[in-house]
């Protein structure tokens, strides 16, 4: 008979109230740290003091790295205190080749869409190199946070479709912050992107690998143009 230990929470049942409390609590963390802190005040401050050029994008990337490290730390500490491990969330969990391929295609298309709005994919300013290295850090922070939410909802036997929708709402909603403004258009488009990544996470056997690939590639291939897009959004909204 298989014995479930406290280091493996993947098969332990969880009350719906507790699961939704953790999922909504993590959503609040994301709104405060990444939404208000990074996309809001951080982007506004960088725009107002550095503009929208490549160096400004690099500075904003530093703000984001700091924010994502905070989110990662909160997620991992919270999960460990509830008896879980990073493996429970999908770290190094086997996945399927098809999920990996979809992750790669998703990431490349995201990068291509970024350059379709402008920018030179062959330009190699020195800021691009550290931003390439920062890509996996940014992706890891968000993907682990969403995995924490979906993991707890899964333990409470929340329907898969609702997990996917909630993942899209939780992650997409705080992307609506654009400097000192909030735009529903950004939130909706981000909801679609992150709902697709939530579906990929579930389809890929709840492994972090496909979604980390799909999320890190746009940053690694399209920054600093991708981050400049945030600053241009702040400027378009009037700061």
Over residues 146-187, the pLDDT tens digits come to 999 999 999 999 999 999 999 999 999 999 999 999 999 999
Q: Is the pLDDT of residue 238 over 90?
A: no
pLDDT at 12: 79
Predicted TM-score (pTM) of this structure: 0.93
Distance CA 227, CA 138 (A): 12
Q: State which H helix or E strand residue 177 sits in.
A: strand 177-178
Q: What is the pLDDT of residue 10?
A: 59
Stated length of the chain: 239
Among 9-23, 124-138, 202-216, which stretch is predicted with the lowest mean pLDDT? 9-23
What span, in angstroms and rounded, lies between the C-alpha atoms of 146 and 161? 15
Average pLDDT of the chain is 95
């Amino acid at each position: 008979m298989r014995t479930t230990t406290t280091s493996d929470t993947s098969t332990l049942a969880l009350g719906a109230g507790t699961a939704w409390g953790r999922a909504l609590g993590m959503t609040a963390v994301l709104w405060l740290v990444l939404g208000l802190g990074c996309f809001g005040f951080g982007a506004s401050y960088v725009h107002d003091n550095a503009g929208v050029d490549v160096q400004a994008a690099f500075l904003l990337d530093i703000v984001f790295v700091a924010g994502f490290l905070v989110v990662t730390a909160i997620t991992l500490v919270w999960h460990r205190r509830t008896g879980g491990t990073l493996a429970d969330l999908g770290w190094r969990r086997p996945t399927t080749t098809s999920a990996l391929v979809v992750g790669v295609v998703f990431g490349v298309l995201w990068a291509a869409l970024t350059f379709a709005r402008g920018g030179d994919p062959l330009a190699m300013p020195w800021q691009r190199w550290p931003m390439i290295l920062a890509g996996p850090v940014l992706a890891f922070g968000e993907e682990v946070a969403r995995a924490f939410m979906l993991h707890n909802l899964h333990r409470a036997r929340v329907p898969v479709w609702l997990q996917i929708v909630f993942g899209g709402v939780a992650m997409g909603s705080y992307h609506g912050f654009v400097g000192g403004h909030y735009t529903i258009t950004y939130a909706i488009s981000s909801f679609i992107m992150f709902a697709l990544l939530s579906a990929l996470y579930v389809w890929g056997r709840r492994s972090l690998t496909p979604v980390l690939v799909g999320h890190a590639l746009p940053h690694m291939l399209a920054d600093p143009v991708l981050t400049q897009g945030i600053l241009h959004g702040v400027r378009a909204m009037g700061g």
